[in-house]
């Protein structure tokens, strides 16, 4: 507003030049009034998800061969939180693993995540060898806008040591019982949906 007043009454050439500046100022100030951050490119989000899932699995396998399953019991939780925390520090995104059959109650899904887990399960039922359990979209939640990314996590043979049938888990099963009395993350079969990596990015 002050700028357009200041523009009045100048000589023609100056006015033309200043109008250009004024027009530019108007655009930039309008932009800064409605600060909006664009959703990051899906390739960037997918790369972080791949890093999380890939490095956690590698650490798990390494610790299991070095110290056995009991020695590796804290990898899923502690290292998962550490890798997620690292991504959050670098990007500001919220990163967590969620499931509808939780061992750690903090891994319970919110409404959106729960809906996506149902969709992923339906997709697996229809097409058991699907590899595309990924969703990325912009959603409105309680008046705010978020980009939400979900990548399904399926059960592989190595997971059954701690998420399989209790009868076959031996000592590890007893240890898990004592640490997680309300554990629901067992009796899985290879290929089941164990949960998902969930990334939530606030946009405005
Ligand atoms: C050595 C035992 C062990 C193995 C092997 C293991 N997990 Fe876990 N997992 C755990 C424990 C213990 C927790 C709970 C961690 C916590 O307290 O946050 C857990 C938690 C999780 C969670 C978070 C949700 C929840 O229920 O708390 C996911 C997802 C998960 N595991 C997936 C996997 C997958 C996929 C594999 C195979 C690639 C796997 N785990 C292998 C022990 C294991």
Stretch among 33-47, 48-62, 157-171 having the lowest mean pLDDT:
33-47
Q: How confident is the model at residue 29 (pLDDT cuts 50, 70, 90)?
A: very low
Stretch among 32-36, 83-87, 195-199 having the lowest mean pLDDT:
32-36
Nearest Cα to 56, choosing from 44, 72, 36?
Answer: 72
Question: For the segment 77-88, what is each residue's pLDDT rounded down to a tens digit?
Answer: 999 999 999 999
Per-residue pLDDT averaged across 95-108, rounded? 96
- Give pLDDT, residue 188: 97
What's the CA gap between 22 and 28, in Å, rounded? 10
197 lines ligand 1 (CB under 6 A): no
- Give pLDDT, residue 173: 94
Ligand 1, atom 18, residue with closest C-alpha: 77
Pocket test for ligand 1, best of 157, 163, 184, 192 (most atoms within 8 A of CB): 163
Per-residue pLDDT averaged across 111-119, rounded? 98
What's the CA gap between 96 and 177, in Å, rounded? 23
Rounded to a whole number of angstroms, the distance between the first and last alpha carbons of the chain is 26
Per-residue pLDDT averaged across 15-36, rounded? 39
Nearest atom within ligand 1 for CA of residue 99: 24
Distances, alpha carbon 114 to alpha carbons 36, 97, 172, in Å: 27, 12, 29
Q: How confident is the model at residue 204 (pLDDT cuts 50, 70, 90)?
A: confident
Tokens of 192: 């089941």
Question: For the segment 135-144, what is each residue's pLDDT rounded down to a tens digit?
Answer: 999 999 999 9
148 lines ligand 1 (CB under 6 A): no
Q: Check: CB of residue 123 under 8 Å from CB of residue 133.
A: yes
What's the CA gap between 180 and 175, in Å, rounded? 8
- Rounded to two decimals, the pTM is 0.83
Share of the chain above pLDDT 90, in %: 77
- Give pLDDT, residue 131: 87
Per-residue pLDDT averaged across 30-53, rounded? 80
Sign of CA dihedral 65, 69, 72, 78: positive
Tokens of 79: 């290292």
Per-residue pLDDT averaged across 161-183, rounded? 94
- Computed over every residue of the chain, the mean pLDDT equals 85
Q: How confident is the model at residue 36 (pLDDT cuts 50, 70, 90)?
A: low
What's the CA gap between 164 and 186, in Å, rounded? 5
């Amino acid at each position: 507003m002050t700028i357009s007043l200041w523009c009045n009454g100048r000589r023609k050439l100056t006015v033309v030049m200043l109008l250009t500046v004024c027009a530019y100022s108007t655009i930039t100030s309008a932009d800064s009034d409605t600060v909006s951050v664009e959703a990051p490119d899906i390739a960037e989000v997918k790369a972080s998800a791949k890093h999380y899932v890939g490095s956690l699995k590698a650490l798990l396998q390494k610790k299991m061969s070095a110290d056995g399953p009991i020695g590796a019991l804290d990898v899923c939780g502690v290292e998962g939180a550490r890798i997620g925390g690292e991504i959050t520090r670098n990007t500001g995104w919220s990163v967590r693993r969620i499931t509808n059959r939780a061992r750690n109650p903090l891994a319970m899904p919110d409404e959106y995540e729960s809906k996506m887990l149902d969709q992923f399960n339906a997709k697996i039922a229809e097409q058991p060898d699907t590899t595309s359990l990924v969703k990325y979209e912009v959603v409105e939640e309680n008046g705010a806008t978020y980009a939400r990314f979900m990548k399904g996590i399926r059960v592989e043979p190595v997971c059954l040591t701690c998420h399989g049938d209790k009868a076959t888990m031996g000592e590890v099963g007893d240890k898990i019982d004592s640490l997680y009395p309300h554990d629901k993350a067992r009796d899985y079969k290879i290929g089941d949906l164990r949960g998902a990596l969930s990334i939530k990015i606030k946009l405005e």
